[in-house]
Chain A
């Protein structure tokens, strides 16, 4: 638990960090970035909260159980999207050409279009969920453990 100034600033900054992270995740298929990078950005915000506040307080916000469920569902979404293509081949990008994220951009350099990429944006999103939940669970568990508290089953 740090001083009030730090806590106030952290409270304001976390919003921007989360939004930036989500931007990186969502625009993963048109600008540099993606699920892993955006997820890491969001988790860095959570680490900031961990430093500014105590791990006990953060524990009330992020439940171990909820994080576990979110992480598992992110993984299941990812693998489910891969399974969706099994009519042709596993990991077949079946959304190219459909109304959902199916547009094909103009070949060559040009402005990006968010509705492109087929399953790539969806997979980015699933991976982002997974990274956010997973890494915050790790960071939180390590912080709680160094405070003498063990993870429940």
Chain B
């Protein structure tokens, strides 16, 4: 029962996704690229960085990068929180 339902819904969803991605512009020939053209043209002038991806990461979409760094920080904190000893050591020192 579970197997059959699982397969049916899985196939339906994947069919939609596959059908969906064939409707996207042909690979390598994007329809619209205004934002990216602007960034590629102006990043050297506005940020002084030769690496456009770095310019996007740290200037145009810097809040994303801050969020990304925050997520890494969160995960580190989370891992250390979960692996901690649940009892304090005797406070000798």
- For the complex, is B3 an interface residue (Cβ under 8 Å from A)? no
The answer to whether A105 and B76 touch (CB under 8 A), given A82-B62, A120-B59, is: no
Asked if A34 contacts B63 (CB within 8 A), the reply is no
- For the complex, is A32 an interface residue (Cβ under 8 Å from B)? yes
The dominant DSSP class at the B interface is: helix
A33 cross-chain contacts in B, Cβ below 8 A? 51
Shortest Cβ gap from B91 to chain A (Å): 11
B72 cross-chain contacts in A, Cβ below 8 A? 130-131, 134-135
The answer to whether A123 and B80 touch (CB under 8 A), given A32-B51, A116-B50, is: no
- For the complex, is B20 an interface residue (Cβ under 8 Å from A)? no
Shortest Cβ gap from B64 to chain A (Å): 11
Asked if B54 contacts A150 (CB within 8 A), the reply is no
Asked if B50 contacts A91 (CB within 8 A), the reply is no
Shortest Cβ gap from B62 to chain A (Å): 4
A107-142 vs B: 1/0 string, CB under 8 Å? 110101100111110011001001100110110011
Shortest Cβ gap from A94 to chain B (Å): 11
**A102-B46 Cα distance, complex, nearest whole Å:** 11
The answer to whether A153 and B88 touch (CB under 8 A), given A91-B62, A124-B54, A134-B72, is: yes
Determine which of B58, B66, B80 lies in contact with A79 in the assembled complex, contact meaning CB atoms within 8 Å.
Answer: B66
The answer to whether A103 and B66 touch (CB under 8 A), given A91-B59, A120-B54, A153-B85, is: no
- For the complex, is B89 an interface residue (Cβ under 8 Å from A)? yes
Within 8 A of B (CB), among A76-108: 78-79, 82, 91, 93, 96, 101-105, 107-108
B63 cross-chain contacts in A, Cβ below 8 A? 91
Determine which of A30, A112, A116, A138 lies in contact with B79 in the assembled complex, contact meaning CB atoms within 8 Å.
Answer: A138
Asked if A150 contacts B48 (CB within 8 A), the reply is no
Asked if B84 contacts A120 (CB within 8 A), the reply is no
Shortest Cβ gap from A8 to chain B (Å): 31
- For the complex, is A5 an interface residue (Cβ under 8 Å from B)? no
B46 cross-chain contacts in A, Cβ below 8 A? 93, 96
Within 8 A of A (CB), among B21-79: 44-51, 53-55, 57-59, 62-63, 65-66, 68-70, 72-73, 75-76, 79
- For the complex, is B12 an interface residue (Cβ under 8 Å from A)? no
List 6 A-B residue pairs with CB atoms under 8 Å apart, sorted by A's residue number.
Answer: A29-B50, A34-B51, A82-B66, A130-B73, A137-B79, A151-B85
